[in-house]
């Protein structure tokens, strides 16, 4: 299971970042979301969603072994082990490991899929299919 | 606070540079429901009645209300307010985008700017850090260019609102621009910003917004999202935004064409929503928390000019800068939209002003000698570009038009007042009311001058009879109460109008956010209170019976529609007088258009009654007393 992104469909509404923080932190605060939308304006006029691709690089560099894979295949942070040391932040190839001034641990996608449920344009969708070929691997998500 | 309020109000004195942090007045927000209600009350209480709207005694307000930023359909709005230089009454204007939520997430509900800065400044809010910065390097820049320059310096995650040269130069219909295409266009709020030498407002916030019952709000709004995703109107709205309505307006004889001379445009198929989607669309664009994405980001290419990026043209701009100017190419309409956005002028009033200038030129009331050797002809984009440059910089007769059509007509004379399409100094929206009497009455009586967001009745007029005026006043009053409520709460009203979210559902969300436990009727009553306060404010500033300000230009009754499906249709002066009589009766005002003490005291506005009495403008008591209920519930059909 992965999250597939179609950039051409994103409208920049940030409903995904809202529901992400509500679901995972019980707070209305898009800065606590585990995904991000880049806006490229005025030119070329494009939104670029970035979501976790489950590459596992954050887990590889974690000195505390605080990031492990759970039973649905998501890399999750053990908040009691995470020291917020930042090692995982720069290694994320799509920039979706976050820190927040309120929190003593990093924010990483839990694969709750709430963003895919509420995205109304098909920009972020749940993708159950296992990648068969490189060209099909979570299109655009790695960009 | 767990009530939708961030908790802090900023008072920024632009003259001294002092920034005061005050706890947000919860009682004030509760009584006036935030947004434009709080703004109306503050302006009424704090701005002297003889203060120049462009002078230091006016205040300028940035207000995120109680619902902006919350998990709510299109909780994206921010409301600006001050005494309007265009109408000389209460002025407010709102925009979507992301600025209102950012203000909440930074920890603020309200920013009140006092006095005027000695030198150009811009305000930067970065959570707890609030500072006025020197704007000398960005003063003079165009709106969109300025937003880009600020984002390049501060970072992409700052939300930025700017004014352009028009606002700096005191063009009375100047707008505020944000998110590369969202505008607070109406009532000249950009001119007030310019008069205070406030070039831009930049906000970044990382805090959480606390609400009364988040689990209940999450459950309710999630259900609404999943339900409305399947609504039949969703697909056309997502695809076209409001632009698909150009054709509908033309087919139904309300599309303003050639400065409201007729309501049928022979080139509609060259400027309508299909043209936008197929020829100039770059990407769909949404405001914060909105899954309707009515924003259309586009690229206009006009031979001999640089390609330009803009948001729009949405319906109002498409009508007023398209058919109303005789444009025959969607690229041309979009290019004019971009010119107005970047110069920092409202594209609704801007379209109205250019159309008025074109009709004056056609009639020989202004000539090429007045226009620095240029013409001003229907459908000619080069003519428009030169004329707008004269207006934005107030060169020559551009200065006359910089005051809007009403003031320009006063300068030009020769009968031009008849076709200056405005009420109270503000230009009409993109609907001709001659065969839609409720729409005309809506323009005539709106508290901020002719603007459709207070009341829109085209489908009501079609359902109830387009030649009948009887019974229309009650419906207009209801709409004047419910539609501005969305601006008061700082959310978008389109989910109510187009996707059938009920007022009860929205008030349920309001209660989940605020914990107020209110019902729809109480909210409507609050809206009525705001409406009447603004009426009193207008009378106190302009010192004459209200009725004298409520007339549309004479074209509205002297000229019948000359072509198209509405050919020969039109209202008489007697019908217009009858609508006003009905309207005042239904509102609990006297026939001079002045609110009565009985009504004002019923709404808790006894002080305003005292103020009107002192200047001889309090309404005479009504023989049968005021109506118990003002307005009649009506849901116009979605289009």
Which residue ranges make up each domain of chain A? Answer: 2-130
Choose the mutation target among A8, A17, A45, A103 for the interface with B, i.e. most B CBs under 10 Å.
A45
Residue B122: exposure state from Cβ atoms within 10 A (0-12, 13-18, ≥19): buried
Q: What is residue A71's predicted lDDT score, i.e. its pLDDT?
A: 87
Rounded distance between C-alpha atoms, residue B454 and residue A52, angstroms: 44
Summarised one tens digit per residue, pLDDT across range B117-152 is 999 999 999 999 999 999 999 999 999 999 999 999
ipTM: 0.95
Assign domain A2-130 to a CATH class.
Answer: alpha beta
Summarised one tens digit per residue, pLDDT across range B426-449 is 999 999 999 999 999 999 999 999
The verdict on A11 touching B (C-beta cutoff 8 Å) is yes
Q: Measure CA A39 to chain center.
A: 16
Q: Which of A121, A123, A122, A141 is nearest to A131 (CA)?
A: A141
Q: What is residue A2's predicted lDDT score, i.e. its pLDDT?
A: 87
Choose the mutation target among A22, A28, A37 for the interface with B, i.e. most B CBs under 10 Å.
A28
The verdict on A64 touching B (C-beta cutoff 8 Å) is no
Set out the domains of chain B in order of their start, with CATH numbers: 8-204 (3.60.9.10), 238-414 (1.10.569.10), 437-614 (1.10.599.10)
Cβ distance of B214 and A22 shorter than 8 Å: yes
pLDDT score of A140 more than 50: no
Q: Which of A55, A104, A89 is nearest to A75 (CA)?
A: A55
Chain A residues 110-139 within an 8 A CB cutoff of chain B: 117-118, 120-121
pLDDT score of A131 more than 80: no
- The whole-chain average pLDDT of chain A stands at 90
Q: What is residue B279's predicted lDDT score, i.e. its pLDDT?
A: 98
pLDDT-derived band at B2, boundaries 50, 70, 90: confident
Q: What is residue A121's predicted lDDT score, i.e. its pLDDT?
A: 95
Which residues on neighbouring strands pair with residue B123, listed in sequence order?
A: B132, B201
Cβ distance of A118 and B225 shorter than 8 Å: yes
Q: Give the distance between the most distant pair of CA atoms in chain B.
A: 67
pLDDT score of A142 more than 90: no
Q: Tell me the chain B residues in contact with residue A121 when contact means C-beta distances shorter than 8 Å.
A: 238, 284, 291, 293
Rounded distance between C-alpha atoms, residue B273 and residue B265, angstroms: 15
Q: Is-above-0.90 flag for pTM? A: yes
Q: What is residue A1's predicted lDDT score, i.e. its pLDDT?
A: 77
SS3 B450: coil
pLDDT score of A133 more than 70: no
Cβ distance of A12 and B71 shorter than 8 Å: no
Summarised one tens digit per residue, pLDDT across range B164-202 is 999 999 999 999 999 999 999 999 999 999 999 999 999
Q: What is residue A130's predicted lDDT score, i.e. its pLDDT?
A: 56
Q: Tell me the chain A residues in contact with residue B237 when contact means C-beta distances shorter than 8 Å.
A: none
HEC assignment per residue over B290-326: CCCCCEEEEEECCCCCCCEEEECCCHHHHHHCCHHHC
Rounded distance between C-alpha atoms, residue B349 and residue B340, angstroms: 10
């Amino acid at each position: 299971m992965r999250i597939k992104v179609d950039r051409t469909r994103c409208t920049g509404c940030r409903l995904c970042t809202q529901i992400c923080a509500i679901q995972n932190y019980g707070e209305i605060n898009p800065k606590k979301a585990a995904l991000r939308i880049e806006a490229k304006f005025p030119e070329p006029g494009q939104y670029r969603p970035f979501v976790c691709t489950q590459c596992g690089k954050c887990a590889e560099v974690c000195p505390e072994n605080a990031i492990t894979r759970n039973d649905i295949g998501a890399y999750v942070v053990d908040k009691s082990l995470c020291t917020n040391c930042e090692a995982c932040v720069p290694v994320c190839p799509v920039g979706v490991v976050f820190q927040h001034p309120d929190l003593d641990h990093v924010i990483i996608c839990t694969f709750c899929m709430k963003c895919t449920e509420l995205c109304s344009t098909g920009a972020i969708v749940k993708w159950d299919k296992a990648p068969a070929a490189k060209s099909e691997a979570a299109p655009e998500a790695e960009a | 606070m767990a009530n939708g309020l961030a908790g802090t109000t900023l008072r920024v004195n632009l003259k001294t540079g002092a920034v005061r942090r005050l706890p947000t007045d919860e009682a004030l927000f509760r009584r006036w429901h935030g947004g434009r209600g709080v703004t109306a009350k503050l302006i009424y209480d704090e701005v002297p009645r003889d203060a120049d709207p462009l002078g230091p005694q006016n205040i300028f307000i940035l207000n995120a209300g109680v619902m902006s930023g919350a998990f709510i359909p299109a909780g994206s709005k921010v409301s600006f307010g001050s005494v309007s230089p265009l109408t000389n009454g209460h002025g407010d204007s709102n925009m979507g985008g992301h600025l209102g939520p950012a203000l909440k997430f930074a920890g603020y509900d309200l920013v009140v700017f006092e006095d005027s800065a000695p030198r150009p400044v811009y305000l930067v809010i970065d959570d707890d850090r609030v500072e006025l910065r020197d704007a000398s390097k960005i003063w003079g820049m165009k709106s969109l260019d300025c937003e880009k320059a600020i984002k390049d310096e501060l970072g992409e995650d700052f939300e930025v609102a700017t004014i352009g040269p028009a606002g700096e130069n005191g063009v009375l219909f100047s707008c505020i621009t944000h998110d590369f295409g969202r505008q607070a266009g109406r009532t000249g709020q950009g001119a007030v910003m310019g008069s205070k030498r406030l070039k831009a407002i930049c906000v970044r916030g990382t805090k959480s917004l606390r609400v009364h019952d988040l689990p209940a709000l999450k459950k309710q709004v999630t259900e609404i999202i999943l339900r409305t995703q399947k609504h039949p109107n969703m697909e056309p709205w997502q695809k076209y935004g409001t632009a698909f309505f150009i054709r509908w307006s033309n087919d139904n004889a309300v599309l303003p064409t050639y400065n409201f001379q007729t309501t049928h445009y022979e080139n509609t198929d060259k400027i309508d929503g299909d043209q936008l989607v197929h020829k100039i669309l770059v990407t769909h664009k949404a405001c914060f928390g909105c899954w309707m994405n009515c924003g259309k980001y586009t690229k206009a290419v006009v031979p001999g000019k640089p390609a330009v990026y803009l948001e729009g043209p949405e319906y109002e701009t498409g009508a007023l800068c398209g058919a109303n100017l005789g444009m025959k190419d969607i690229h041309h309409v979009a290019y004019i939209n971009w010119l107005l956005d970047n110069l920092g002028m409202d594209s609704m009033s801007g379209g109205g002003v250019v159309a008025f200038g074109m009709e004056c030129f056609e009639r020989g009331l202004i000539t090429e000698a007045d226009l620095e050797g240029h013409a001003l002809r229907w459908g000619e984009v080069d003519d428009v570009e030169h004329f707008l440059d004269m207006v934005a910089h107030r060169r020559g007769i551009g200065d006359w038009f910089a005051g809007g059509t009403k003031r320009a007509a006063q300068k030009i004379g020769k009968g031009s007042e008849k076709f200056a399409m405005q009420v109270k100094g503000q230009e009409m929206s993109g609907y001709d009311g001659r065969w839609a009497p409720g729409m005309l009455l809506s323009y005539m009586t709106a508290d901020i001058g002719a603007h459709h967001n207070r009341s829109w009745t085209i489908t009501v007029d079609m359902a109830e009879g387009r030649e009948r005026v009887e019974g229309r006043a009650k419906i207009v009053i209801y709409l004047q109460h419910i539609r501005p409520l969305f601006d008061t709460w700082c959310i978008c009203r389109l989910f109510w109008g187009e996707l059938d979210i009920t007022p009860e559902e929205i008030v349920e969300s309001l209660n989940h956010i605020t914990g107020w436990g209110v019902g729809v009727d109480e909210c409507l009553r609050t809206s009525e209170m705001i409406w009447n306060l603004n009426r009193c404010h207008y009378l106190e500033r302009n010192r004459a019976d209200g009725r004298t300000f409520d007339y549309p230009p004479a074209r509205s009754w002297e000229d019948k529609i000359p072509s198209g499906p509405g050919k020969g249709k039109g209202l008489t002066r007697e019908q217009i007088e009858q609508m006003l009589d009905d309207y005042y009766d239904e509102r609990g005002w006297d026939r001079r258009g002045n609110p009565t003490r009985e009504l004002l005291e019923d709404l808790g506005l006894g002080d305003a009654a005292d103020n009107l009495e002192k200047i001889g403008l309090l309404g005479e008591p009504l023989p049968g007393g005021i109506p118990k209920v003002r307005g009649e519930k009506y849901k116009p059909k979605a289009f």
